[in-house]
A and B are shown apart, each in its own frame.
Chain A
Amino acid sequence: MALLEIQNVTRRFGDFTAVDDVSIGIEAGEFFTLLGPSGCGKTTLLRTIAGFETPDRGRILLDGEDLVGRPPERRPMRTVFQSYALFPHMTVEGNVAFPLQMSRTPSAEVAAKVAAALEDVRLQGFGKRYPHELSGGQKQRVAIGRALVTHPTVLLLDEPLAALDAKLREEMQIELINLQKEVGITFVYVTHDQTEALALSHRIAVMNKGRVEQLDEPSKIYGFPRTRFVADFIGHCNLFSGPVGARDNGVLTLDVPELGPVRIATDSALPAGRPGTIALRPEKIRIDAGAPAGTPDNHYRGTVQELLYMGDVTVYKVGMPGGAQIEALLANSQSGRARFFEVGDAVEVSWAVGAGHFIAE
């Protein structure tokens, strides 16, 4: 049995079902992420685990013990809030000492534990400062130190990096990974940022409309999305939908109206005529000016309609005669080279049957 068992949890607000029959098992020492767009129920689920929301149905077990009905102050978990929620009238030390005082830690031990926690989050020497004298990143560290000082069984993090700028966010991501390894505490992390989720997590639960769409390792979530929603939400993805056509030796043909037949390697047993979707990452697509080398499984002729120069890569949007637009991505590995094609160029896009991923939906 997992350390934290979420069993059939449902939480409604009036007519709105924020969390809809969710079951997840989170293992000890895991960095687990709840990922989804705003309103998908991830924060409500986190608040239910913390005890701020009471599930209408279902159970939450920690080490086999049912937590439902136990108030937040009596759960062995700590939350890091998006707004940090540092106490403005207390110093950094005062903030970090607060949970220790609440748990009646002998005052002789408090100072040492506070110092250790501040060292964990690399804030030595900041103990006497007030929150308003700290930068956003430092406040975030205080919030994490304060949550970790009592060594909770589970740490819940509600979009903790959302308020930081991009560069600082990346630094903090690396720190969070290291910190989690160091303290060995189970992290349950909520974010709407898919790159953050992919970078940090051992496992991710992608949520949509209160339900878990897919629960997997980051590489599986990215490479083998189980639903259209997951494919679309995680990174950029070309999605081709149409009825299932011919099947030949593990290769299925999908009749995409705006593109034509697309071949895809899959073990899906979806019968012919049923709708299916192919998810294809832009970086898996080749673009050539003339005919591609060899005989690729799928190749289509189109025109470059748009391009976006991003520095390291350039994104090309290629329009097809049937109306489809295919997004492809080429690395600008050659220095000084900004683009290989211009808008209006006729190009050939191609990919192998193994490049995409088939979704029976």
Chain B
Amino acid sequence: MTVAARRARSFGRWLVAGPPIVYLVVFFAIPSLIMVLASFRTPGEFGGLAPLYEGGTLDLNLDSYARFFSETIYARIFLKSVGYALATTLFCLALAYPLAVLIARSSKRYRDLLLLAVILPFWSNFLIRIYAWMIILGPNAALARSVNGVLAWFGHDPVPLLFSAFAVLVCLVYVSLPFMVLPLYANLEKHDPALLEAAQDLGASAWQRFWRITFPLSLPGVYAGAALVFIPALGIFAIPDILGGPADSLIGNVIKQQFLETRDWPFGSVLSIVLTVAALAIAGLAAWVARRNLGIPSSAKEARA
């Protein structure tokens, strides 16, 4: 290849890769850096940030970090958020797995139809769907009435469904489910049916075929789905805001509060950073554990080979 041709090719490559790189730098890397910097600054008197450089000294400190680690309320909210996100992930997995298997094993015609049904909720607005749950779970709706009717039968006082941890979890699972179904389906659909026949031929019962063949081979899909569900669920604030009670405030709500109501930007930044680090750490840990304990091939390419 001539020098000119090589240069033209490298230029072409930059032309293609350039826009997304610029986009990520401007809208992800730089804001993240601003946030990291803000976490070391002092809050302004009327919100926002105090001047960075004043009276010949650079005003950087660890005060906000000290506050996070000294007041246990934030750690507790953090743990609670992890708990909600974990529960959401597990419920989603339990519901999505059979559904994904069903879709992957149905005939081409029904498969597309079922996939469409999974994606369909995305066609309406996220907030509208949450408000719809307010109606479904409301005290005068059929669901609350029948639940409380049954409870009354057993002499139990009526319980509110709305503005509760239950409502938050139900909606979190509902909103996250497609993000678990789609990667699981994408994985299961690629499984070679001959493997299950071979396992059966070698003496494996239906249950053994699932646990020894289908499930281990689907783990890359499980991890992808779990990450797609867990990470957004960890930082969500709209659902607890609308459907939760006062006790259901999660870390996302606290961060939102710091920026919009308390107007303590440095502390809000600290909470955001801790959230990001925690999400990355949990995802990394899960991947590490999976690779060590289950002998999963490290890439999808190996799994297919």
Contact = CB atoms under 8 A, between A and B. Distances in A.
Interface of A: 50, 52, 71-74, 77-79, 81, 83, 85-89, 98-99, 102-103, 130-132, 146-147, 150
A83 B195 CA distance: 9
B302 interface: yes
B168 to A, nearest CB: 37
B31 interface: no
14 contacts: A52-B200, A52-B201, A73-B201, A73-B202, A74-B203, A77-B201, A87-B199, A89-B216, A89-B295, A102-B203, A132-B297, A146-B202, A147-B202, A150-B203
Contacts of A85: 192, 194-195, 197-198
Interface string B116-151: 000000000000000000000000000000000000
B239 interface: no
Given A88-B302, A88-B303, A132-B305, A98 B197 contact: no
Contacts of A89: 216-217, 295-297, 303
A104 B200 CA distance: 15
A208 B134 CA distance: 67
Interface stretch (B171-179, B204-212, B257-265, B279-287): B204-212
A78 B194 contact: no
A83 B172 CA distance: 43
Contacts, number: 71
A99 B296 contact: no
A255 B32 CA distance: 94
Given A71-B200, A86-B198, A102-B202, 13 more contacts: A72-B197, A72-B200, A73-B204, A78-B202, A81-B197, A87-B195, A87-B213, A88-B195, A88-B297, A88-B305, A89-B296, A98-B204, A150-B202
A72 B196 CA distance: 11
B13 interface: no
B304 interface: yes
Contacts of B212: 87, 98
Contacts of B200: 52, 71-73
Contacts of B194: 81, 83, 85
A81 B203 contact: no
Contact of B217 (A78, A88, A146): A88
Nearest to B206: A73
A88 B304 contact: yes
A130 B297 contact: yes
Nearest to B196: A85
A59 to B, nearest CB: 21
A103 B203 contact: yes
Contacts of A78: 201-202
A71 B205 CA distance: 10
A150 B203 CA distance: 10
A83 B192 contact: yes
| Interface bracket on B | 20 to 34
Contacts of A79: 197-198, 201
Q: Which of B199, B216, B303 has the most CB of A within 10 A?
A: B199
Nearest to B194: A85
Nearest to B208: A102
3 cross-chain pairs, A with B, having the tightest CB-CB distances, nearest first: A132-B305, A102-B203, A85-B198
Contact of A99 (B202, B216, B305): B202
A89 B295 CA distance: 7
B79 to A, nearest CB: 34
A73 B205 contact: yes
A309 to B, nearest CB: 41
B202 A98 contact: yes
A71 B209 CA distance: 14
Contacts of B201: 50, 52, 72-73, 77-79
A73 B212 CA distance: 15
Nearest to A52: B197
Given A88-B304, A130-B297, A132-B302, A73 B203 contact: yes
Interface in B73-120: none
A132 B304 CA distance: 8
Contacts of A147: 202
Interface string B287-305: 0000000011100001111
Contacts of B217: 88-89
A279 B295 CA distance: 59
A99 B304 CA distance: 22
Q: Which of B198, B217, B296 has the most CB of A within 10 A?
A: B198
Nearest to B301: A132
A72 B204 CA distance: 9
Nearest to A83: B194
Nearest to A146: B202
Contacts of B208: 102
B223 to A, nearest CB: 14
B207 to A, nearest CB: 11
Interface in B54-88: none
A102 B296 contact: no
A88 B194 CA distance: 12
Contacts of A146: 202
Contacts of A83: 192, 194
Contacts of A150: 202-203
B196 to A, nearest CB: 9
Nearest to B213: A87
B303 to A, nearest CB: 6
Contacts of A77: 201
A85 B196 CA distance: 9
A157 B204 CA distance: 19
Contacts of B303: 88-89
B302 A130 contact: yes
Nearest to B195: A85
